[in-house]
Each structure stands twice: as structure tokens, then as C-alpha cells.
Amino acid sequence: MTENDFNSLVKHFSPAWFASVMGTGGFANVLYSLSTHFTFLKIVAQSLFFLNIFLFLILIIPWVLRWFLHINKLLEDLSHPIMSNFFPTMPVGGLVLGTNFFLIGKDFFSHENIVFIGNLLWLNGVILCLIFGVIVTYNMIVKEKIEPEFINFSWYIPPVATIVVPLLGNMVARSYLNTNIEYARAINFTDIIFFGIGLSLFILLNSILLNRFIVHKLPGSVATPTFWIILGP
């Protein structure tokens, strides 16, 4: 890959790529949980866990570089009624990866390292899910007109993001029950707030989306994959 090719890759890098981290991590957790009944699934789950670490580390490079090298293009995507909804997939991918460490990573890493990584990914999720959730919702409100074809199930990603925060937060908080109960309570309190934000956003957006699908024609086939996002909230 030439320098120009890499620069073009960074410029047009879609934040939606982190949905692959979300999916891989969630699938790994499910397989690891099922491995208590089907032992052969354990090695598959562990392989997916390390694949997910690799995916996150590879994808984070163009994601971060885009903020410095192509901020104008990034801000354009961040104000787009569809593309903006995929920005929270990065912190959500990190949150899901954090649950991988607690569930699967205990076979390979020390408890201290897992808690440290879990803290970093949880804090990253709290900060970025809140920032992107506010930006995306604000953009929806200030847009003078959003055409019906721009409304699809990708709008559910911001509430999904805030609801995922407690999944990792609960694991991190549990690690501090015997060493720092006040910090554990602070995490738990934050998790409750984010669950409330996600629930409120889901109710708000659900009414908009149902209205769109009842009153207007169905979206094109390109939007078909977004129908699976409803499983998240």
C-alpha cells in the first residue's frame, strides 16, 4: 500500500467498521458461555477473543488518524443523519472487548491487568458514548428537515451504546467490592444513569422509527442490515 492509498483509506474510513468488533466480541462471549456444555467451543471463543483484540488495535489506527489528518471529512460524516449514528460503535466495541477480557481473558491474563484494561475501556465508553450520543441527538433536533429515507434502524445505535456501558461497568465494579467500595458505587451509579439515558433515547427514537415505517415506504435494500440493530436495545 502506497502512502496515497493509506491516506485515502484514512480519509474515507467508516466508523461502522467497529461493528465487527462488537459482533465478534459478543459472539465470543456467547460461545465461551456455551463451552460449559460443549467443550470444543472454548477454543473457538478464545480464538475469537484474540481476533477481536487484533481487530480493535488495527481499526483504532485509521480511526484516530482521521481526527488529525481529515477532520473536515470526519465532521461532515458526524453531521450526516445516517453516518453519524455509527460513531458510537468505537466505544461500544471497546466495551464489548472489555467484557471479553473479564469473561475469556482470565485464562490468559492476570486479574490486575484485566481490571486495568477494563477500567480504560469502560471510561473510554462512558466519555465517548456520552459525547457522540449528545452530538447525534442534537443533530437530529437542529436539522430543519430530515427526509424519511434517512431514517433507519441505525438510529438505534446511540441508545444501544449507552445501554452497553453497564455491561462492562458491572464487571469492573464487582472487582472493587472488597478493595474500594466507594469507587464501585460510583461506577454502579454511572451505569444506572447511562441505562436511563439509553432507555429514554430508545423510547424517543422508537416512536420516530415506527412512524417512518408505517407512514412512508420501506427503505432500499442497502438499509436491510440495519434491521438487525433492533436486537441491541
Each of the 233 residues of the chain gets a pLDDT tens digit; together they read: 666 778 888 888 988 899 889 889 999 999 999 988 888 999 999 999 999 999 999 999 999 999 998 889 888 888 877 778 888 889 999 999 999 999 999 989 999 999 999 999 999 999 999 998 888 878 777 765 666 666 667 777 788 888 889 999 999 999 998 889 999 999 999 999 999 888 887 887 777 777 766 666 766 666 666 666 666 65
| Distance (Å, whole) CA 217 – CA 91 | 33
Report the sign of the C-alpha dihedral through residues 233, 201, 88, 118, in that order.
Answer: negative
Report the sign of the C-alpha dihedral through residues 174, 53, 194, 152, in that order.
Answer: negative
Asked if 94 and 56 touch (Cβ cutoff 8 Å), the reply is yes
Would you list the domain boundaries of the chain? 3-231
CATH architecture assignment, domain 3-231: Alpha/alpha barrel (1.50)
